[in-house]
Amino acid sequence: MTATASLTRRRFLQFGLTAGGALLVGFRNPAMAAAIPAELLGDDLVQLTAFVMIERDNRVVIGARGCETGQGVITALPMLIAEELDVDWSKVRVIQLPYGYEVVDGKAGNRYGNQSAGSSTSIAEAWIDLREAGAAARWLLVQAAAAAWSVDADSLRTESGHVVNADGRKLSYGALARTATSRQLPDAPIPTKDPATFKLVGKPTRTVDGRSIVTGRNRYGIDEYLSGALVAVMLRCPYLDGSLESLDDSEARRIAGVRDIIIIDGPKPDEMFDGPLASGIAVLAENTWAAIQGRKALKPVWKQGPWQDESTAALSKRAHGLLDAASAGIEVRRDGDLAASRKRARHTLSARYEVPFLAHATMEPPGALIELRSDGALLIASLQNPDGASRIISDLTGLARESIEIRLPRSGGSFARRLQNDFVAEAVLIAKKAGKPIKLMWLREDDLAHDFYRPFGVHALLATLDRKNRVAGWSHQCAATSPTWRMPGMQDDPQYIGCLEADDFPAGLVDNLEKVFHPLESGMPRGCRRAPLHTFHAFAVQSFIDEIAYEVRRDAVELRLEMLGPPREIPFRGQGGPVFDSGRMAHVLKLCAEKIRWGEKRSDGRGIGIACHFTFGGYSAHAFEISMQDDKLKIHRAICVVDVGRVINPLGLEAQIMGGTIDGISTALNLAISVRGGQVQQRNFPDYPLLSMADAPNKVDVHIVESTRDPVGAGEMGIASVAPALANAIFATTTVRIRKLPLLPELMRML
């Protein structure tokens, strides 16, 4: 694996001047600016290799570095630059930057910083460096104006794309752009603004490509084409780790438009998932329809793999067996003396919760458009991890990574599916054999049957309560399919990662605590899925707290607040740390309870449920008011309260939380991936029913806690506490306690 150099401040703030007179900041090599055609600097601008471009007419073009998968970084990240640059947002044009891999002084790096999107880190990572990029551009322009007026730069200020003199004179950024490039950036960091003076950051701002999306003009990865490219559709082996035994493709080759048929090998059962996920047959055709018809005409004979007897029922039985046996397992954390706590306890309560495999089911399935040449490659695809795509292309072709161009169109969703680049590997292997540019298309059937699924597992929880019915001890044992299995880059991680978190609630809040993980063997590929750890175990933890409250006749909110205790910062070693602030969690919980009118007596047949969770540095709580109308669950009110620190774009944050809540409802009520006979059973949305508009709440009330703390992301904050809040509301309405997801099938079975 190629080493990646750290992004130094000096490299990050390079600048240059284009032949057209535009100032570019964020450039590694000023000589590259001259290579940008003049037509790319006007109204027909389509590609940019810098963060900031200021044109003579005072227009400002800002490049967005992050992979836009619907989370809003194409707006929020440029807002940080525009704020420090002091420009009028209405005069800013934002474009998506390509992947910025480069080699400088023999070291690999990225001229734009981290461009991957995952774990809600984009905003937190950009909070300093992108503000510095904007501040550097502003400093250069101020120095140019000071030289033009022969005054001290400290006497000048900036405002709406102009440098303003103390006597009232103004010079536009466009007028200063040429001379600004003669200035030398200082070695000391350039001060960024005091957040108290922000004019743009913190203001509701519409997404920059919103109009093109709603009018159908926006181009996603699936919309891209290259001249001469063939469309490829694959038929993959339906068996876990299976292979192709024989193939009759004679009828497929007779389909009009079919040009070739290529066999692609999958990984061997003991190999890492660092290429294609499954063995398959690629049908290459002049158009998508012909490729699909060719695929239908294939007559393969598949050989079953080593997991031919795997089933969801068997996995569940083995998981419960591991927990029943009380085997040693892998110790994740141990505090105090739980055994002694059990002996002293007035009450000891226990319960088990089961969570299924989950697919990503992105609206835009995976796919890739690739052209391989002897001197380089071009990849255009909806990605979440372009660095990984670059490595895969280089590994499979031998091409130097600096010769691989990767363009990043907006993705039609991701939810961590595109962190893996198996579809890119498939496209590369097909293109190598075909000798032509290839547009690989996945169908929905491919997407559901060949995924990196959120793990399956069973949680066994136990709590001891003292004579005042306070939680004195806590045990969390989990038997699950570890996401580290066969995953490159995770072989040194503990097997419990993504299933059980050492410092997660109620760690640090209960004196006597144990957490133990029991690995569950399975042939199902596993990976991250939106808020992976948090959606996996928050359902169990937050449902169990409600069960405790009910059994000892305590208020569920009061019990949570008692467990959280006084406001304090508790060490947190997982992602989102280094601390967990119990006071911030208590605040969002109390505000959520207030908004749902917790504690009010209800006589209308409706019930309410609440839950809270700490996710990747953010604090969230959900509450739902529901009723049962015959055999239909009706959500009357949906509340979410979030604290993610300082908010960059409140409008974007609200949309994120609304979307996450709807996603959480859909997942909690209906979704599960099952396996039988070594095959995934779900093939399309009738088998994996996403939430319909008729069943969704009319609105999601989002309440954002004002904060001056450094910001964190929000893409995953709105989902983790949904399932337990819904389960708790269902119990309040029906007295049916559901301990297995998805909720609706279990509810119908138990009513």
Mean pLDDT of 485-503: 94
Beta-ladder partners of 675: 680
Listing DSSP states for 254-303 in one string gives: TSTTEEEEEEE----TTS-SSS-SS-EEEEEESSHHHHHHHHHH-EEEEE
pLDDT in tens, 249-306: 999 999 999 999 999 999 999 999 999 999 999 999 999 999 999 999 999 999 999 9
- Determine phi and psi for 55, rounding to 5 degrees: -95, 165
- H helix or E strand, kind and range, residue 652: helix 650-670
Of the listed ranges 8-22, 36-50, 166-180, 654-668, the least confidently predicted one is 36-50
- 711: cis peptide before it, omega within 30°? no
Instruction: Write down the residue that tokens 């046996």 correspond to.
Output: 325
Task: Provide the pLDDT for residue 47.
Answer: 24
Where does the pLDDT of residue 586 fall: very low under 50, low under 70, confident under 90, or very high at 90 and above?
very high
Of 471, 499, 505, nearest in space to 580 by CA: 505
pLDDT confidence tier of residue 50, bands split at 50, 70 and 90? low
**What pLDDT is attached to residue 57?**
83
Greatest extent of the chain over all pairs of C-alpha atoms, in Å: 84
Stretch (H or E) spanning 570: strand 569-571
Q: How far apart are CA 667 and CA 650, in angstroms?
A: 25
CB neighbour list of residue 337: distance below 8 Å, 6 or more residues apart: 512
Out of 12-21, 313-322, 332-341, 708-717, least confident range: 12-21
The whole-angstrom separation of Cα 742 and Cα 636 is 20
Give the pLDDT score at 31: 32
What is the DSSP secondary-structure string of 314-376?
HHHHHHHHHHHTT---EEEEEES-HHHHHHH-SEEEEEEEEE-BB----SS--EEEEEEETTE
State the pLDDT confidence band at 699, using cuts at 50, 70 and 90.
very high
Q: Name which of 273, 284, 270, 205 is nearest 528 in CA terms.
A: 273
Residue 581 has pLDDT above 70, yes or no: yes
Q: What is the DSSP string of 501-555?
A: -TTSTTTTTSSEEEEEEEE----S-B---SSHHHHHHHHHHHHHHHHHHHHTT--
Looking at the predicted structure, is the pLDDT value of residue 41 above 70?
no
Decide: 585 and 508 in contact? Cβ < 8 Å.
Answer: no
For position 68, what pLDDT does the model report?
Answer: 95
Is 90 exceeded by the pLDDT of residue 183?
no
Q: What is the mean pLDDT of residues 343-361?
A: 97
Task: Look at residue 540 in the predicted model and tell me its pLDDT.
Answer: 98
- The two tokens of residue 371 are 């052209």
For residue 344, give both structure tokens: 């002293």
Q: What confidence score (pLDDT) does residue 184 get? A: 82
The structure tokens listed for 109 are: 């790096």
The torsion region of residue 553 among left (phi > 0), alpha (psi -120 to 50) and beta comes to left
CB atoms within 10 A of CB 366: 30
238, pLDDT greater than 80: yes
Query: 312-358+452-750 belongs to which CATH class?
Result: alpha beta
The average confidence (pLDDT) of the chain is 92
Q: What is the percentage of the chain residues whose pLDDT exceeds 90?
A: 84
Q: Residue 69: which of 221, 252, 171, 243 has the closest Cα?
A: 221
Distance CA 92, CA 53 (A): 10
Per the model's pLDDT, the better-predicted residue between 367 and 534 turns out to be 367
Q: Three-state DSSP class for 448?
A: helix
* Fold exhibited by the domain 221-306+366-441: Aldehyde Oxidoreductase; domain 4 (3.30.365)
Closest CA to 138 of 171, 111, 162: 162
Cα 373 to Cα 437: distance, rounded to the nearest angstrom = 9
747 in Cβ contact with 738 (< 8 Å): yes
| pLDDT at site 631 | 86
| CA–CA separation, 65 and 73 (whole Å) | 8
The pLDDT tens digits for 378-417 are 999 999 999 999 999 999 999 999 999 999 999 999 999 9
Q: Which amino acid is at 226?
A: L
Could you give the CA distance from residue 108 to residue 183 in angstroms, rounded to a whole number? 28
- Give the pLDDT of residue 12: 44
Q: Which pair of structure tokens corresponds to residue 472?
A: 């004195």
Does the pLDDT at position 24 exceed 60?
A: no
Structure tokens at 20: 């057209």
Look at residue 39 and tell me whether its pLDDT is greater than 60.
no
Domain boundaries, the chain: 9-214, 221-306+366-441, 312-358+452-750
Contact 224, 369 (CB under 8 A): yes
What pLDDT is stored for residue 177 in this prediction? 83
Q: What is the pLDDT of residue 506?
A: 97
> Would you state the pLDDT for residue 187?
84
Q: pLDDT at position 45, please?
A: 28
Please say whether the beta carbons of 433 and 425 come within 8 A: no
pLDDT of residue 25: 57
By DSSP bridging, strand 376-380 and strand 367-373 are antiparallel
Please give the residue that has the higher pLDDT: either 53 or 15: 53
Closest CA to 144 of 112, 101, 177: 177
Q: Over 129-183, what HEC string results?
A: HHHHHHHHHHHHHHHHHHHHHCCCHHHCEEECCEEECCCCCEEEHHHHHHHHCCC
pLDDT digits (tens, 9 = 90+) for 81-140: 999 999 999 999 999 999 999 999 999 999 999 999 888 889 999 999 999 989 988 998
Decide if 396 contacts 424 (C-beta within 8 A): no
How does pLDDT run across 133-162, given as a tens digit for each residue? 899 889 989 999 999 999 999 999 999 999
pLDDT band at 603 (very low <50, low <70, confident <90, very high): confident
Alpha-carbon distance 76 to 725, whole Å? 30
Per-residue pLDDT, 54: 85
CATH number belonging to the domain at 9-214, selected among 3.30.1330.10, 3.40.50.280, 3.40.50.300, 3.30.365.10: 3.30.365.10
- Distance, in Å, from the CA atom of 230 to the CA atom of 222, rounded to the nearest integer, reads 14
> Does 312-358+452-750 match 9-214 at the fold level?
yes
